[in-house]
Structure 1
Amino acid sequence: MENTALIIIDLQNDYFGSIKDAKWPLYKTEEAAENTLKILTKAREKNLKIVHVRHEFQGDNPPFFAPNTKGSTIHESLTPKENESQVLKNGVNAFLNTDLKAILDESNITNVIIVGAMSYMCIDAVTRAASDYGYNCFLAHDACATSNIEFNGVKVEAKLAHATIMAALSFAYANVQTSEEILKQI
């Protein structure tokens, strides 16, 4: 894929159950990180544009991703290299009030590969926004993690929440594939 960027969303320590004192462990974060690393490694080999997005909550007593904490740090397995772009966001959508679009446009990016967390929040938001901006979106569903959710007394298991979002995004916003399928295209 020419003119392609890999966008890694919020794979930070607070989401990893394997990290001591993680504030918000997700379902299958470690598996998502392993698959992300495979894609990241190939993207580095092919000299693709790589953008690491990191979330920090503002205000007092954030639930997780507090500024200047171990929990808000990108997981060590995915540590950005010097030549890779980094974006700090304070909200759900990685394009909102950040320079993500400018970074992509400066490199004439037309295709984005999206991975990270949480499926039903930041992954959903960035995928829809990227599609609305005209980028061709490729989403590695097995390189994304999420959590259980509840609405109006209805509890939804993480795997069902994840599947629902992936199905919705595949309908009109992204080419949703496995990591292996995406690796073959890079």
Structure 2
Amino acid sequence: MSKQALIIIDIQNDYFPGGKWTLDGADAAADNAARLLEAARKRGDLVVHVRHEFESADAPFFAPDSKGAAIHEKVLPKEGEPVVLKHKVNAFRDTPLKSTLDQHGVDKLTIVGSMSHMCIDAATRAAADYGYDVTVAHDACATLPLDFDGKQVPAADVHASAMAALAFAYAKVVKTDDLLGN
């Protein structure tokens, strides 16, 4: 029998209005992540919270022990839910994430969080490479506009491009309502 987990990546205060690195759609994505969190808890699925902290106090965001690096109130962990601290983009790199999933016999993952084109992309690809059956709730993820070669790429395009690439070969990419059966 398949055992699944919800992985909530980097839904942290600095990504919200008033934070140091505000993302487009952070509130809406966190609201959808909270809905998935509630459903996962009701089902008894493993919930793993991943929190990014840079190792230097002069980091542009997620400085060690800062309010900005704290998990946002919309998706706070409950007692007993693992919280994985990471210092790199990939949530599996140099963390106990894989061993935590394996200890619980998890083979199916739903991934949500921020940023779509960075940490969500890296964790999803790594999870697929490790052999997990991966789903990404695309409307429970957020990102920001980027500049490349003198061109500004709107956040919606950055997000769509990241999700399209993941859907091509790494994960099922679906809406929160589809996962919740709405």
Range into which the TM-score falls when normalised by the shorter chain: over 0.9
Of the three residues 10, 20, 24, the one matched with 2:21 is 24
SS of 2:181's equivalent? helix
Give 1:183 deviation, angstroms. 1.6
Q: Which residue number in structure 2 is paired with residue 11 of structure 1?
A: 11
Q: Does 1:34 align with 2:42?
A: no
**Contact 2:32–2:140 (CA under 8 A) maintained in structure 1:** yes
Q: 1:102 maps to which residue?
A: 99
- Aligned partner (choices 151, 154, 158) of residue 154 of structure 1: 151
Superposed structure 1 runs of 4+ greater than 2 Å apart = none
User: Which residue in the other structure is 2:47 paired with?
Assistant: 50
1:161 is displaced (CA, Å) by 0.3
* 1:132-171 correspondence to structure 2 within 5 Å: 132-171=129-168
Contact 2:128 2:134 in 1 (8 A): yes
Alignment partners' CA distance in 2, 1:85 and 1:96: 16
Output the CA distance in 1 between the equivalents of 2:29 and 2:126: 22
TM-score when scaled to structure 2? 0.97
Give the partner amino acid of 2:54: F
Q: Which residue of 1 aligns with 2:180?
A: 183
The structural deviation recorded for 1:184 is 2.6
1:97 deviates by 0.2
Per the TM alignment, residue 77 of structure 1 is displaced from its structure 2 partner at its CA by 1.5
The correspondence for 1:81, drawn from 68, 78, 100, is 78
Cα distance, 1:60 vs structure 2: 4.3
Q: What is the Cα deviation at residue 83 of structure 1? A: 1.4
Identity of aligned residues (%): 52
Q: Secondary structure at the match of 1:112?
A: strand
Offset at residue 182 of structure 1 (A)? 1.2
Alpha carbon RMSD of aligned pairs, Å?
1.2
Q: Report the secondary structure of 1:150's partner residue.
A: strand
SS in 2 for 1:54: strand
Question: Deviations for 1:58-86, whole angstroms, at most 9, x for unmatched residues?
Answer: 12410000011110000012110111111
Alpha-carbon distance in structure 1 between the residues aligned to 2:120 and 2:45 = 20
Give the Cα separation in 2 of the matches to 1:181 and 1:139.
11
Secondary structure of residue in 2 paired with 1:87:
strand
- Structure 1 residue 144 displacement after superposition: 0.1
> In 1, Cα distance between the equivalents of 2:56 and 2:84?
19
Secondary structure, in 3 states, of the residue corresponding to 1:131? Answer: helix
What are structure 2's unaligned runs of at least 5 residues?
none
**Aligned residues between the structures:** 182
- The Cα shift of 1:2 comes to 3.4
Normalising to structure 1: TM-score of the pair?
A: 0.95
Q: Which runs of 5+ in 1 are unaligned?
A: none
